[in-house]
Amino acid sequence: MKWKSPEPREYYSKYKKIDVKNGNGWFECYELPGDVYAICEPQHLQEVNCFLIFGKERALMLDTGMGICNIRPLVQELAGGYFDTLQIVNCHAHFDHTGGNWRFHEVLGADTDLSRRQAITGVGSEPLSSQTDEDMFLFGYPQGFKPEEYCIRPYEFRPCADGHLFELGGRTVEFITTPGHTEDHAMLYDHRDGILFAGDMIYFGAIYVQFNNDILGHSNIEDYIASLDKIKARCKGLRSIYVSHNDFITDPSAIETIKAAMEDIISGRAAGKPLHDAMYGYYQDPPTMKEYFFDGFSVIADR
Ligand SMILES: [Zn+2]
């Protein structure tokens, strides 16, 4: 597979790697500017990132990863004395962000049917089977992982309102609902350092706006654009964007770049290529989804 390369991704060299005891040979941890730790899973194609955000008195965590390995001991190690009061938020209910949720007492997220339903039912192995193909793993399955049993377990969920402020001690982090990728997508904005945690909506890789089912939810490209506008208006003093896949940090100019790409797709100015790749779990015959290629990223859309 194209994504596989024996060398570590070059972008990791920009950040300070933390030596951790509980990485399990699976998780890696990096220290980012602004009292933030990133926990990543570079051995799975999703290359998903979780974040721990520290204030003077409390910490907040964004997402719990794929649930392939146990993230809890690592979070305990990194959060230290902040672990007992740690709050966890999901940027949305997709499996790659919610897999470790059940290991914690409660997780907050946007108040939608999708997020409420998934917390109650979880996601069974069958809809996730494309994710556990051995080709999705850089060095094969981690020890003890049983692909046929991989699923998202139910978890305790608490809805979080748009504009809710997490007070971490000398640091306020705002929860902002941003539908588009899915109806329950949300971002976190750190008012102290101007850091936007943008989840799956602003990054340089494949951007997904094609979901339309009860498990993965519903994308909406017009909502996506409206959410990017909302972020621009709400995040005064925005300085950097931390994202949930691939390289951790991107520049605020990415908002305009991605918004322009979405507008080009809607208006027909951009031409897409019909998507056939069964490996990624969105095979359709005849194909109705297209991948649109832009400078440094692509958009997969249902039109
Ligand atoms: Zn994701």
Looking at residue 3, what is its pLDDT?
63
Q: What kind and span of H or E run contains 98?
A: helix 95-98
Task: Check residue 188 and give left, alpha or beta (phi > 0: left; psi -120 to 50: alpha).
Answer: beta
Looking at residue 254, what is its pLDDT?
98
Looking at residue 2, what is its pLDDT?
47
C-alpha 194/C-alpha 37 separation (Å) is: 16
Contacts of 60 (CB under 8 A, 6+ apart): 52, 53, 86, 87, 88, 89, 166, 168, 173, 188
C-alpha 286/C-alpha 303 separation (Å) is: 13
What is the β-pairing status of strands 186-190 and 212-213?
A: unpaired
The rounded Å distance from CA 245 to ligand 1 centre is: 7
Give the CA angle between residues 89, 208, 303 to the nearest 5°: 140
Question: Could you list which residues have their CB under 5 Å from ion ligand 1?
Answer: 96, 200
Amino acid residing at 14? K
pLDDT in tens, the chain (303 residues): 446 776 788 899 999 999 999 999 999 999 999 999 999 999 999 999 999 999 999 999 999 999 999 999 999 999 999 999 999 999 999 999 999 999 999 999 999 999 999 999 999 999 898 899 998 999 999 999 999 999 999 999 999 999 999 999 999 999 999 999 999 999 999 999 999 999 999 999 999 999 888 899 999 999 999 999 999 999 999 999 999 999 999 999 999 999 999 999 999 999 999 887 554 555 555 667 899 999 999 999 988
Coil vs helix vs strand at 199: coil
The rounded Å distance from CA 298 to ligand 1 centre is: 15
The rounded Å distance from CA 289 to ligand 1 centre is: 19
The rounded Å distance from CA 77 to ligand 1 centre is: 24
C-alpha 35/C-alpha 251 separation (Å) is: 18
Residue 73: φ, ψ to 5°: -60, -35
Looking at residue 154, what is its pLDDT?
98
The rounded Å distance from CA 265 to ligand 1 centre is: 21
Amino acid residing at 218? H
The rounded Å distance from CA 94 to ligand 1 centre is: 6
Read off the DSSP letter of residue 81: G
The rounded Å distance from CA 47 to ligand 1 centre is: 9
Coil vs helix vs strand at 127: helix
The rounded Å distance from CA 243 to ligand 1 centre is: 10
* Distance separating the N- and C-terminal Cα atoms of the chain: 26
Looking at residue 279, what is its pLDDT?
47
Coil vs helix vs strand at 112: coil
C-alpha 156/C-alpha 18 separation (Å) is: 30
| Among the listed residues 29, 77, 79, 34, the one whose alpha carbon sits nearest the alpha carbon of residue 50 | 29
The rounded Å distance from CA 65 to ligand 1 centre is: 9
C-alpha 270/C-alpha 158 separation (Å) is: 40
- Domains of the chain from N-terminus onward: 10-252 (3.60.15.10)
C-alpha 4/C-alpha 141 separation (Å) is: 14
The residue whose two tokens read 């100015």 is: 269
C-alpha 186/C-alpha 288 separation (Å) is: 27
Looking at residue 275, what is its pLDDT?
80
Helices (H), 81-193: 95-98, 113-121
CB 199 within 8 A of CB 92: yes
Residue 234: φ, ψ to 5°: -85, -30
The rounded Å distance from CA 95 to ligand 1 centre is: 8
The rounded Å distance from CA 244 to ligand 1 centre is: 6
Residue 97: φ, ψ to 5°: -115, -15
Looking at residue 285, what is its pLDDT?
58
Q: What kind and span of H or E run contains 59?
A: strand 59-62
The rounded Å distance from CA 163 to ligand 1 centre is: 22
The rounded Å distance from CA 10 to ligand 1 centre is: 21
Inter-CA distances, 201 with 165, 246, 258, Å: 21, 13, 9
The rounded Å distance from CA 49 to ligand 1 centre is: 9
Looking at residue 280, what is its pLDDT?
52
The rounded Å distance from CA 247 to ligand 1 centre is: 13
Looking at residue 1, what is its pLDDT?
44
